[in-house]
Chain A
């Protein structure tokens, strides 16, 4: 009898433990991985019963995980594609729930030694589609442009392709890097390189000031320029959920959008939405 009672107590404790320790999984955008980790760390400090597991991999990977049910939240640095919404509709009868959590200036990175200070959107497009291959064509020295970018599972890749390249393909000479940090590291080492990524990653490199067209004024991705809309390549950073959040999930999303959650957005280097 004692053994049975002991077994029941252990079982109850095991279930109790499982119930109390709610796990929220977050997967997706590499651009957002630092931000998501900071959110998770801070939130878990004040909510000891909640474990938030954050992994990167890219927006496409995160959204695929949301569709196949292996993550609770997908981080994405681009809006969900219609094809992804279709899959979500098929499996969960839902369009998904989109939460805009931060704003980012999609920055064009240059090596600090590069004399080029500003580029128009058209020039950036021409460099990334392979029409311009030498820095002298955009006011720099006579040197081949080394083009770095992201892999196609990245939301930054998709956003840049759709909004800067107008849907055209990247040049075949672009070296695809597995994360924004890798792009930045490559640019730090290569004086003739160019890359793109989130504003929060800019250590050891400089931003190119970007102008809408040849006659416009060029702006760097500062908070002021992004909020005012002057910086021409801005985007939202999103969280996606399968259905409307409830319980712990709702509490976490509400906290991300609260003053405390949004202050972390600023600390990491992005721009709050509230």
Chain B
């Protein structure tokens, strides 16, 4: 009997314990369920928060900020030289520190529409560089319209940013014909939205109408046409690429009332025209870039451009394109110029640069003819220059690069011009450090 009682007591005890354990398990399961629900709510909350943040980040990603600073030290042969290697040296100076560029660019990229504003801040002041809107049609995504201040669509060197360019400066020809590179106007662009292998994918066109004064206010009613038809031929198997284009500038420079357009193509007499309102400003340009890899040496590029045409300058001393309304006579010259630029990779971090450029502002006269006869109205603006540049670029990291470069400048001489009867001592050494982001 005692055994039965003991068995019943033990059974009751076990059952009680099991029941208690079941209660405990039940409680634990419910707790876990509650915890899971709580965590689920938290995850959903985080997901909602993530989606909100993502929407904000996606919107912010359309705003693109970029820029670069170029700080440099330069040393010239003698004090106060005129130079195209970063501008003239001040009187009494043959070396200097300058901030060549202090760019900050803000762009809002909404895929088919773009807003771009770029400023340049240096020790010389603050200046506008780019301010334009770019609109692409949404159907073919091949045609675009650009309006505002932006690079003139001519040749290769204008649109090749100085932050990427290996030689410190553009060639003398470009600095003379297109000071500041940019202009105010509207441009039509065709860049086929097709696979690159398609025939049309190898071509592009940019062309439009511009004020013709660089980044300056409009001064006349005539608009200048500037355009370039470009091609790009890749040969992947050979790792060879040949790019190039044909460019055209058709425009004019307004003549002030009562003034003359002197055609200075004769060593003895310049013909004067007082009836024509605008002096022709017409250029034709050809450019080509070849990219290839040499055995042992590695990849290189050889670039060349040739431009010729008619250029109206503001005096006998200068053939530079006018950037404001001209008050005096205009001097119309037939000009030509070219450059060749060889860039050889030396591993991933270094590049060797060799550049030769020639600019002849007046192809109709030469040497002692310049300055010989006053009636010919020839002067320093008719002197031909050639520049041989040699340098080295070192890429320190993704942002920083160093440039060491020496420009050896030679000029045509004329015994009739006191300041140019011998080769000028105007060679310049440049050491530049650039930070780009």
A residues sitting closer than 8 Å to B (CB atoms) are: 68-70, 79, 81-82, 85, 89-95, 97-98, 162, 167, 169, 175-176, 242-244
Q: A93-B291, A94-B239 are in contact. Are A70 and B398 (CB under 8 A)?
A: yes
Q: A93-B343, A94-B291, A244-B293 are in contact. Are A85 and B234 (CB under 8 A)?
A: yes
Number of interface residues of B (CB under 8 A): 28
Q: Which single residue of chain A is at the shortest CB-CB distance from B348?
A: A69
In-complex Cβ contact of A92 among B111, B201, B234, B345 (8 A): B345
In-complex Cβ contact of A95 among B236, B348, B395 (8 A): B236
Which residues on the A side are within 8 Å of B236 (C-beta)? 95, 98
Q: Besides A95-B234, A97-B239, 7 other CB < 8 A contacts?
A: A69-B348, A69-B397, A79-B196, A82-B232, A89-B241, A92-B348, A162-B195
In-complex Cβ contact of B291 among A70, A89, A97 (8 A): A89
Q: Which single residue of chain A is at the shortest CB-CB distance from B196?
A: A82
Min C-beta distance of B293 to chain A, whole Å: 6
Q: Which single residue of chain B is at the shortest CB-CB distance from A175?
A: B51
Quick check: which of B63-71, B174-182, B297-305 contacts chain A, the rest being far away?
A: B297-305
- Expressed in whole angstroms, the Cα–Cα distance for A175 and B54 within the complex equals 10
Task: Verify A93–B348 contact, CB threshold 8 A.
Answer: no
Q: Which single residue of chain B is at the shortest CB-CB distance from A72?
A: B348
Q: Which of A81, A91, A176 has the most chain B CB atoms inside 10 A of its CB?
A: A91
Task: Verify B291–A69 contact, CB threshold 8 A.
Answer: no
22 A-B pairs with C-beta separation under 8 A: A79-B195, A82-B232, A89-B241, A89-B291, A92-B299, A92-B345, A93-B299, A93-B343, A93-B345, A94-B291, A94-B293, A95-B234, A95-B236, A95-B240, A95-B241, A95-B291, A167-B141, A242-B348, A243-B239, A243-B299, A243-B345, A244-B239
- Expressed in whole angstroms, the Cα–Cα distance for A98 and B301 within the complex equals 19
Cβ of B221 < 8 Å from any Cβ of A?
no
Encode contact with A along B369-398: 1 for CB under 8 Å, 0 otherwise: 000000000000000000000000001011
Cβ of B193 < 8 Å from any Cβ of A?
yes
- Expressed in whole angstroms, the Cα–Cα distance for A94 and B234 within the complex equals 10
Which residues on the B side are within 8 Å of A95 (C-beta)? 234, 236, 239-241, 291
In-complex Cβ contact of A93 among B51, B111, B201, B301 (8 A): B301
Cβ of B276 < 8 Å from any Cβ of A?
no
In-complex Cβ contact of B298 among A69, A70, A243 (8 A): A243
Which residues on the B side are within 8 Å of A175 (C-beta)? 51
Which residues on the A side are within 8 Å of B234 (C-beta)? 85, 95
Which residues on the A side are within 8 Å of B232 (C-beta)? 82
Encode contact with A along B30-67: 1 for CB under 8 Å, 0 otherwise: 00000000000000000000010010000000000000
